[in-house]
Amino acid sequence: MYPTTEAIYLDHAATTPVRPEVARVMAGALAEDFGNPSSGHAWGRRARRRLEEARATLAEALGVSAAHVFFTRGGTESDNLAVLGRVRHDLAHTKSGHVVTSAIEHPAILEAAERAVVEGAVHTVIGFDAGVLDLDALETAVHGRPSLVSCMWVNNETGLVLPMAEVAAACGRHGVPLHSDAVQAVGKLEVDWGNAPFDLLTLTGHKIYGPKGTGALIARDPRGLRPLLYGGGQERGLRPGTEDVAGAAGLAEAVRLAVAEAPAESVRLRALRGRVEAALLGRIRNVRVNAGDRPRAPHILSLAIPGADSDTLLAALDAMGIAASGGSACASGSSMPSRTLAALYPGDGAAALRLSFGRLTRSRDVGAVVRAVVEAVARTRALVSP
Amino acid sequence: MSIRAGRLRILAAMSGGVDSSVAAAMLVEAGHEVVGATMKTFCYSGEAAESRKTCCGLEGIRDARLVADRLGIPHYVFDVEEEFTRDVIDDFVAEYGRGRTPNPCVRCNSNTKFRDLLRRGRALGCDGVASGHYVRLDRAAGRPRLLRGADRSKDQSYFLWGLPAGLLGLLHFPVGDLTKPEVRERARKQGLATADKPESQEICFVPTGDYRDLLARKLLPTHPALSPGAIVDPRGRVLGRHNGYSGFTVGQRKGIGGGRPERYHVLEIRPETREVVVGPRHLLAVGGVVVAGLNWLATPPEPGRTLHVQIRYRAPALACTVEALREDAVELSFREPARAVTPGQSSVFFDGDRVLGGGRIRRVVGARY
């Protein structure tokens, strides 16, 4: 095995460790609040109280109504619930469904939209023009009164911040519900979520030092959604199944801390990323920062490295104790051709390297990270050009 | 021994099958630092992802990863789809287009797999590459010698004649000294997930088992290999029609139309006229063969020398004499007439157990019709 003592984790956009405060809250809930929140007895009441406290904590942290918080089991589930829940509702009521997404959504949105097509709906993909979302195409699409527009807040591969105000304005003009996958935005951007322009919002715990398998969908009008699962009616029927009280408590605490710390943490991460970015641009020739000329979230640095091979580059970095990622990872572990980069940079086949910063990143890591990336890129490029 | 003494960092090719799993395990046991790697050779989306072929697709990758985790070694997936398509699949299609019968695994081993893994391994600081092939390397002599596997029923030297000679010293074949049952036994003892996995026989990029689907996708519908032609006997009499010579292989018996007094075999494919020549079995025997696209792992033999040649996987090696040797081709005459000598297939030259080199069968010499 490779040494891990000096290993540096730069894959916070993939997942994060549970922070101690969250673990403590969860340990307490697991030990004491084990009752079934649907039970009428004292144990049930206690668990129910804990669950509703979590809902209130999360709602307060975001400035939304607790009645609009629906706990799910993760980001993928929230995304699927938004897309398929909206489309199935419309298919049932109007015999037609239409989902509009950007071209760079997470697979949990794009694959759900493809599923919606199988079920009889239409999927319109809004592309990019020179790296900018095609708002004219969006305007045309919302004119047809689709069931839903889904546009992520922050792109997971590049950190690109989507123009949510403009997207929301277009949706608002035609009364079209807007969903946003905000899993890479919460805790990274200073957003007044309570006044932010969305109807549906996806959250997940594990990107913000909370537990995996936890998430929420903020739904300002849940009446327009069909559930994905059927059962005991929990979460007002939108997500049945005995509630994960400890998970909800952990998620709520993680959201609370992430939102509270976002102002300071975003400044820290932006500075760290800036140092790494400047050093790498200075020491590696012919390299591009993906979405570098666009508004970006502070924790992601995505580099396009022509002449290198993404798989080998990542393996070489792993061998040097640096955990990073390529584009998005598919189940095989091999890098897939990135739909995001294809949309932002059509025809560009450069290898992608994503470094994502977070609480595990220390200022003193910058030097080692830069040295390792420079070395790994040099070794990998040497293979391609003999 | 296939494993050198001293601690090395070795990149172990892991297909997700039992042989390469045990190969990696043996290197770990020998004290080497092992890095596992699986090559993703073609797109596993769509129908291929649905198939559950062994050593292929996501299942292979998942199994390789399970084994690597069990062994406590890193494991990476390398996407080589582009190179593999260009060097192996396109060649496979082109060879069938020419009326030949290719060995894509030979092509992959010669051009893609080992070269690519050695290249990538260098970036990871690896000294060599290992695989689960049943062959042995004799490093006692100055120049490493490639030998048949100890388990003759599993010997895979036929598929490795195209290895670049200069790279042999960097390769490791840990299971080459073992029999298949011994390999499975080791896998079971170590609790490897692949211990009882069935053998894979199909070509990895033809998960359906029918290569003609692939040809139909890759070749123009008007390509002669997919166009109707005549089935003729050796004297040129038309016996019937076929729907494309790419569906035929020399020696094959089926698909010629029954009702003949004796069973007919494919004797020859003539792409220029799209004719498939058929005849009785005894006409399959030929006196010699011209082998081209040569690769030597030993000093090339002088004309007049006797050696053994294997013209099909799992076939016995046949005694033959070198009639003529050029830079790019060698002509051999068989001591006894050989049957079903198939253009496109590999011919591998042996001196006892030692692989001297090989090439692709270009044409037969001394047919009896």
Q: Which residues of B are catalytic?
A: 108, 204
B35 CB neighbours in chain A (<8 A) are 315, 319
How many Cβ pairs within 8 Å bridge chains A and B? 60
With b for 16 or more beta-carbon neighbours within 10 A and e for fewer, the B238-251 pattern comes to ebeebebbbbbbbb
What was the pLDDT predicted at B2? 44
- For the domain made up of A20-258, the CATH class stated in words is alpha beta
Nearest to A200 by CA among A33, A56, A61, A75: A75
Residue B75: list chain A partners with CB under 8 A. Answer: 333
- Tens of pLDDT, residues A72-91: 999 999 999 999 999 999 99
The C-alpha torsion from B13 through B17 and B22 to B27, rounded to 10°, is 10
User: Could you give the residue range(s) of every CATH 3.90.1150.10 domain in chain A?
Assistant: 8-17+262-384
Mean pLDDT of chain A: 94
The CA distance from B160 to the nearest CA of chain A, in Å, is 24
**pLDDT of amino acid B368:** 82
Report yes or no: A112 and A84 within 8 Å, Cβ to Cβ.
yes
Q: Residue B246 pLDDT > 90, yes or no?
A: yes
Per residue in B334-364, pLDDT (tens digit) is: 999 999 899 999 999 999 999 999 999 999 9
User: B257 pLDDT band (50/70/90 cuts)?
Assistant: low
Residue A151 known to be catalytic:
no
Q: Delineate the domains of chain B, giving CATH numbers in brackets.
A: 9-189 (3.40.50.620), 224-283 (2.30.30.280), 285-367 (2.40.30.10)
A333 contact residues in B (CB cutoff 8 A): 61, 65, 75-77
Check residue B57 and give its pLDDT.
55
Report the distance separating Cα A174 and Cα A143, nearest Å: 6
Residue of B nearest to A337 (CA): B79
Asked whether the beta carbons of B166 and B297 are under 8 A apart, the reply is no
Burial class (CB in 10 A: 0-12, 13-18, 19+), A264: exposed
Tell me which chain A residues have a C-beta less than 8 angstroms from the C-beta of B124: 312, 315-316, 319
Restricting to A residues 149-178, those with a Cβ less than 8 Å away from any Cβ of B are: none
DSSP string, B159-176: G-TTS-GGGGGGEE-GGG
pLDDT of B198 > 90? The answer is: no
To test the contact with chain A by mutation, choose from B38, B62, B79, B127 the residue with the greatest count of A C-beta atoms within 10 A, namely B79
Residue from A56, A132, A319, A330 carrying the catalytic annotation: A330
| Cβ–Cβ below 8 Å for A334 and B122 | no
Q: At what angle do helices A310-319 and B114-123 cross, to 10 degrees?
A: 40
In angstroms, the separation between the Cα of residue A319 and the nearest Cα of chain B is: 6
Q: Is the pLDDT of residue A386 over 90?
A: no
Q: CB–CB of B123 and A316 under 8 A?
A: yes
- Do residue B35 and residue A380 have CB atoms under 8 angstroms apart? no
Q: Which of B61, B76, B119 sits opposite A315 (nearest CB)?
A: B76
Q: Alpha-carbon distance B51 to B66, whole Å? A: 19
The mean pLDDT of chain B is 90
Give the minimum alpha-carbon distance from B356 to chain A in angstroms, rounded to a whole number. 29
Residue in A closest to B28 by C-alpha: A1
Q: Which residues make Cβ contacts (< 8 Å) with residue A349, sequence separation at least 6?
A: none
**Is the separation of the CB atoms in A213 and A73 below 8 Å?**
yes
Query: What percent of chain A stands above pLDDT 70?
Result: 95
CA nearest to A319, candidates B131, B77, B74, B25: B74
- End-to-end Cα, chain A, rounded Å: 29
Residues of B in contact with A382 (CB under 8 A): 123
Cβ within 8 Å, pair A319-B35: yes
pLDDT of B55: 36
Record: contact A331-B72, CB cut-off 8 A: no
* Identity of the residue numbered B206: V
How much is the pTM? 0.86
**Mean pLDDT across A318-333:** 76
Whether the per-residue pLDDT at B47 is higher than 50: the answer is no
Q: Which two tokens stand for residue A258?
A: 């992430």
* Contact across the interface for A334 and B61, Cβ inside 8 Å: yes
A338 has a pLDDT exceeding 90: no
How many percent of chain A have pLDDT more than 90? 90
What are the tens digits of pLDDT across the range A123-175? 999 999 999 999 999 999 999 999 999 999 999 999 999 999 999 999 999 99
User: Which of A331, A335, A383 has the CB atom closest to B123's CB atom?
Assistant: A383
Compare CB distances from A380 to B40, B77, B123 and report the shortest one's residue: B123
Window A:268-327, CB contacts with B under 8 Å: 309-316, 318-319
Choose among B62, B77, B125: nearest Cβ to A319. B125
Return the pLDDT at B50: 40
In tens, the pLDDT along B296-325 reads 999 999 999 999 999 999 999 999 999 999
Taking the Cβ of residue A67 and every Cβ of chain B, the question of whether any pair is shorter than 8 Å is answered with no
**DSSP code of residue B190:** T
Show the tokens assigned to B206.
């033809």
pLDDT tens-digit map of B51-85: 433 334 567 888 999 999 999 999 999 988 888 99
| Region B161-186 average pLDDT | 96
Average pLDDT rounded to a whole number, residues A173-183: 97
Please answer whether residues B52 and B59 qualify as being in contact, where contact means their C-beta atoms are separated by less than 8 angstroms. yes
Q: Which residue has the tokens 């997404």?
A: A101
Q: Cβ of A382 and B123 within 8 Å?
A: yes
- CATH homologous superfamily of A8-17+262-384 equals Aspartate Aminotransferase, domain 1 (3.90.1150.10)
DSSP A174: H
The tens digit of pLDDT for each residue in A339-352 reads 899 999 988 878 89
Residue numbers in A near B40 (CB within 8 A) = 332, 334
DSSP state of A365: G
The chain B residue lying nearest A376, using CA atoms, is: B123
Name B84's Cβ contacts closer than 8 Å, sequence gap at least 6: B39, B41, B42, B108, B112, B205
For residue B41, what is the nearest residue in chain A, using CA coordinates? A334
Q: Considering CB atoms only, which of B62, B65, B78 is closest to A312?
A: B78
Residue A68 has pLDDT above 90, yes or no: yes
Residue B130 has pLDDT above 90, yes or no: yes
Interface of B to A at Cβ within 8 Å reads 35, 37, 40, 44, 58, 61-62, 65, 72-79, 119-120, 122-125
Q: Which of A1, A311, A331 is opposite residue B78, by nearest beta carbon?
A: A311
Q: Which residues of B touch A3 (CB under 8 A)?
A: none
Question: Pick from B38, B76, B103: which is nearest to B342 by CA?
Answer: B103
As a residue count, chain B comes to: 369
Which pLDDT band, with edges at 50, 70 and 90, does B259 fall under? low
Q: Does residue B46 surpass a pLDDT of 50?
A: no
Mean pLDDT over A201-209 rounds to 98
Residues 324-343 of A with CB under 8 A from B: 331-335
Tokens of residue A83, six digits: 């897309």
Q: Which of A313, A318, A333 sits opposite B77 (nearest CB)?
A: A333
Place B5 in a pLDDT band, splitting at 50, 70 and 90.
low
Average pLDDT over residues A294-301: 98
Q: Is B99 left (phi over 0), alpha (psi -120 to 50) or beta?
A: left
